[in-house]
Structure 1
Amino acid sequence: MDFGNLPQLRLPPLPEQPERFATLAEVFGISRSIPLNYVSREAVDTDFAIALDRNRHIVVHGSSKQGKTCLRKWNLDDDAYVTITCSNRWTIANLHTSILKQAGFTVSQSETRTVSGENKITAKTELKIAAPGVDASSSIEGARGASNSHEVVRYHLDLDPSDVNEVVSAIRQIDFRKHVVLEDFHYLPRETQQDFAVALKALHESSELTVIIVGVWLDENKLVQFNGDLTGRVVAINADAWTRDQLRQVMEGGAELLGITFTEEFILGVLDRCFDSVWVVQEACFRACLKSNVIADRADHTAVGADLDVDQLIVEIIDQQSARYSTFIPAFAEGFRSSHYELYKWILCAVLLSDVSQLTLGLNQADIRDFINNHHPLGSVLSSNLASALRSVVQLQAERIGIKPTIFDFDESSRRLTIVDRSFLIWLEHLDTQDLLEEAGMPAAFIRRWVSENGGEPTGRHRQ
């Protein structure tokens, strides 16, 4: 049909699209997406991008809620990676199997057994490839369902999921090239972490796969300790560190997006009390805006924070975690089971009686040993027993207590017990130490002596 002779319509111009308002939830607080006020940190984001460009495996580590997940989402396209959330019950075979599933394989148990007697797995998938010609190996059933432009290749593999070489071979056959992100790596059993540290070398040398490990710990050398061959093959990115200027950028950048301003008094009050926690900063700004009825872009530069009690605001934020922390104290003190020395109770006591400025740096194993030796009613504890208990603090929290995210971690390279939940430090600041000691089940005689030595005051908490 010929439309050439029809008169042309003269349509009115489309109205300009109004500028999209930013909502409070998109800017401040915790959300599943990247906040609009995301601040790129040179020592973090730049190093992450460089490591990706060099095809190095990456370990993103730091305290909980310090921006590790946002770092990954900001620097990677959604279709450039697959994500696996690790479990505290996984073996290396479980971890490898999860990688295969994310690569596109359907996995089932095989009747064939490995040399060690475990069942192998059957991994199946199918891919469309451009015709003509399919480079099929003996492990490929063959081409089926061919069309003029594509042929479908079906893969059917029997393999040992604990053998990284067989896993690498399967991944190479289907030419899988996406990054593999392993979230919550710290929850894996220690043995599985060690096994995967060994597997990482093979993944680096025999495949194009880049693995991005995300974990809650502060030790940048954690995986290198498990396998020294990873030196130069793995780049550690410390996502924990936020400078005061960067946290100010988070606040002021978010305020600009919402068309408001925070008073200088409010900004300084939050920065002085947040323990460098970007989560606390985000949540404080969110609540301050709510109290000032700011839920979206105001465009009138409303001043927020002038009449707010920042101390009370921080307490409200941390109170969200209060039940979790209160449950944690007696559960950690109990340890895995009843024991002669009750080491976990005394490790916790050393934390509760330490200055918060000490806790931000971590407690040295030797100092914890000296504390226990000086106060434990049964006398000195063997250094080996204490070291074993400290190495198991994450396992205790993940398996026995079931608390997520973890609060304590043990840095084996520096031999320090570290606090990897900054909110816990703020919580400690606002509680009565004697009450905490009682919740931990410390002996009454010890508590009375401690109260007496501290001038009879009900609390011995020291502020920075």
Structure 2
Amino acid sequence: MFEQQYKSQEVFGVTTEILTPSYVNRGGLDARIEKLLGRDTHIALRGESKCGKSWLRKKNIPDAITVQCRLGKGVRDLYTDALAQLGLQLVTERTSEKGFKANLEASGEFAVKLLGKIAVKLGLEGELKTSAKSIPVGRDLDDLRFVSEIINESGRRLVIEDFHYLPHDARKAFAFDLKALWDYRTYVVIIGIWSENNLLLHLNSDLTGRVREVSIFWSADDLRAVLEQGSEALNISFSRQICGRLIHDSYGTVGILQTLALGILDEAGVERRQPSRVEISDEGAYESAAMAYADQLNAQYQTFAARVAAGIRRRTNATGIYAHMLKVVMEASVADLSSGFPRDQIYRLAAQREPRIQKPNLRQILLKIDGLQVDGEGRGLVLSYDEQKDEVFVVDKQLFFYRQYATAKWPWESIIEQVDETGAGYESDLEFDLQPVAS
């Protein structure tokens, strides 16, 4: 029987394309998503960073209108991006204090055809300008029926990725839009990281019965199945010890597992399917692969640390609170940061280090923590503060792996030392100014 001669990077690793030889449909999740896609419901896919949400979306909704959220974006930005992916742009011109003139313009063959369908539906086919590929419309992006008609005519599903990047107010506003979109038979898939069950229902209780949340998580058995399936494709096996370390160090995240598996194969010199079965058992090779991965992550997390440190103007009264808070959070257990680390607990531990820290001031710092981390394009969240639950949780679980294998000194440790040496206070001035820093 012919065996496909896979290369190792065609089996393991993190790529934009689905690596079929190691793709595991855990718990029949693909069938569940397919069933929900055939129903009149919004779908919320909740899962941690690197848990395979993108592969799941690409496999089950290959032709989606995929909009990426970024910190600082509003709901209108999501609709603007959705139209742009269809090759459409709504150009508005204000004619008075309350009036406006708008044209819907198309670029590309698909967009032109779509524009023609919309013109017919709106009774504007006579207004379609062939040369300009545009039609006048008396609506804007605040008209959800209009947005819904365009998406429905495209025949494609709207997918909102990285929903957790939206500010709380924008998330709540979009949750209310989802009720109207459901009424217009436009069903949306929302993908993101959040710590509580049924986030959208908490944001808008009217979505009850109109949205189904699906939690994406990996058990140890699921991760083991990825290794076994990929091993068969390459005619190799991982020893019990190596398999155990791969699963433990992945922290329930398949992306980490995939990266480590490819790394140890590189260290072992396995580049393609083996002619006879080879066991991967060298613990030294695993250590080298893990350290190499941690070294790759070093730039990412040191940039994160530097961005947060630089994001606070160096007022003595503010930096002490900030520095002790970050030290407590970054040293918290995997369980605490995964399920949500309460502010009460952060305060208690930080106050043990520095009794002058006050709890209300700590909340003001936490409210700004998301904005301090991101780059100029609104990306790069590692930690997030859930204002409703009053908890901090980890967005990127690679942080746990990095903490385990890297020996870097964080900048807030130096700030604590500096503040302690000067003997400066922490609470006399609440006018600290938290400013995000461009990358």
Give per-residue Cα distances to partners, 1:62-108, cap 9 Å, x unaligned: 222111101111222x33x2222233343322221222233453432
Q: Which of the residues 327, 332, 337 maps onto 1:354?
A: 332
Provide structure 2 residue ranges, at least 5 long, that are not aligned to the other structure.
107-111, 422-439
75, 78, 92: which is aligned to 1:92? 75
Residue 316 of structure 1: aligned partner: 292
Deviations along 1:193-233, one digit per CA (max 9) or x if unpaired, are: 222222111111113x2211222333333333332222322
The answer to whether the aligner puts 1:426 opposite 2:401 as a matched pair is yes
Match of 1:443 in 2: 417
Q: Deviation per CA, 1:404-446: give whole Å up to 9, x if none.
A: 441112234543211121121122234558x337546223576
Q: 1:155-234 alignment to 2 at 5 Å?
A: 155-171=135-151, 175-207=153-185, 209-234=186-211
Task: Give the TM-score normalised by the residue count of structure 1.
Answer: 0.77
Contact 2:326–2:412 (Cα < 8 Å) also in 1: no
**Alignment check: 8 A CA contact 1:114 1:120 kept:** no
Q: Secondary structure at the match of 1:123?
A: strand
2:252 is the counterpart of 1:276: yes
- The correspondence for 1:415, drawn from 378, 390, 405, is 390
For 1:395, the equivalent position in structure 2 comes to 371
- Which of 324, 327, 343 does residue 365 from structure 1 map onto? 343
1:108 is matched with 91
1:127 is matched with which residue: 100, 108, 113? Answer: 113
Closer/same/farther in 2, CA of residues 121 and 39 from structure 1, 3 Å limit: farther
Cα distance per residue 1:102-161 (max 9 Å; x no partner): 34534323344673x7x6642135438999xx965444436899xxxxxxx975424222
User: What corresponds to 1:453 in structure 2?
Assistant: none
**Structure 2 Cα separation of the partners of residues 365 and 154 of structure 1:** 53
| Structure 2 residue corresponding to 1:35, chosen from 11, 14, 19 | 19
With 370-379 and 323-332 compared, the bigger mean Cα shift is at: 370-379
Which is richer in helix? Answer: 2
Letter in 1 for 2:179: K
- TM-score (normalised: structure 2): 0.81
In the aligned structure 1, how far is the partner of 2:305 from the partner of 2:249?
23
Separation (CA, whole Å) in 1 of partners of 2:101 and 2:298: 46
CA separation of 1:323 and 1:298: change in aligned 2, threshold 3 A:
same
Partner Cα distance (2:77, 2:418) in 1: 46
Distance 1:374 1:291, change over 3 A: closer
Q: Supply the distance in 2 between the matched residues of 1:45 and 1:391 (Cα, whole angstroms).
A: 37
Q: What CA distance in whole angstroms lies between the structure 2 residues aligned with 1:403 and 1:138?
A: 40
Deviations 1:370-416 (A, max 9, x none): 2333333534232xx4344434432322257x784411122345432
Question: Is residue 267 of structure 2 the alignment partner of residue 291 of structure 1?
Answer: yes
**Partner residue, 2:50:** 65
- Contact 1:335-1:344 within 8 A present in 2 as well: no
Higher relative contact order (CA 8 A, sep 6+): 2
**Which deviates more from structure 2 when the two are superposed, residues 161-170 or residues 55-64?**
161-170
Given the superposition, is the C-alpha separation of residues 416 and 128 from structure 1 closer, same or farther in structure 2, using an over 3 Å criterion?
A: closer
* 3-state secondary structure, aligned to 1:58: strand
Given the superposition, is the C-alpha separation of residues 413 and 53 from structure 1 closer, same or farther in structure 2, using an over 3 Å criterion?
A: farther
Could you tell me how far apart the structure 2 residues matched to 1:75 and 1:348 are?
A: 39
Q: Alignment partner of 1:325: what SS?
A: helix
* Residues 191/414 of structure 1: CA separation in 2 closer, same or farther (3 Å cut): closer
> C-alpha distance in 2, partners of 1:351/1:430?
18
Structure 1 residue identity aligned to 2:417: P
Q: Match of 1:406?
A: 381
How far residue 247 of structure 1 moved from its aligned partner, in angstroms, is 0.5
Considering only aligned residues, what root-mean-square deviation do their CA atoms show, in Å? 3.3
Structure 1 residues 155, 334: closer, same or farther in 2, change over 3 A? same
2-structure distance, mates of 1:381, 1:423: 29
1:333 and 1:440 in contact (8 A); partners too:
no
Q: Is the CA contact 2:11–2:19 (under 8 Å) kept in the aligned structure 1?
A: yes
Q: Does structure 2 conserve the Cα–Cα contact (< 8 Å) formed by 1:56 and 1:234?
A: yes
Distance 1:360 1:89, change over 3 A: closer
2:9 is matched with 25
Are 2:21 and 1:50 equivalent residues in the alignment? Answer: no
Take 1:440 and 1:238, find their aligned partners in 2: how far apart are those partners? 39
Q: 1:421 to 1:363 in 2, by over 3 A?
A: same
Instruction: Give the count of matched residue pairs.
Output: 410
Bigger Rg, structure 1 or 2:
1
Measure how far apart 1:297 and its partner are. 1.9
Contact 1:364-1:416 at 8 Å conserved across structures: yes
Instruction: Kindly indicate whether the alpha-carbon contact (under 8 Å) linking 1:110 and 1:158 is maintained by their aligned counterparts in 2.
Output: no
1:376–1:178 distance in 2 versus 1, CA, 3 Å? same
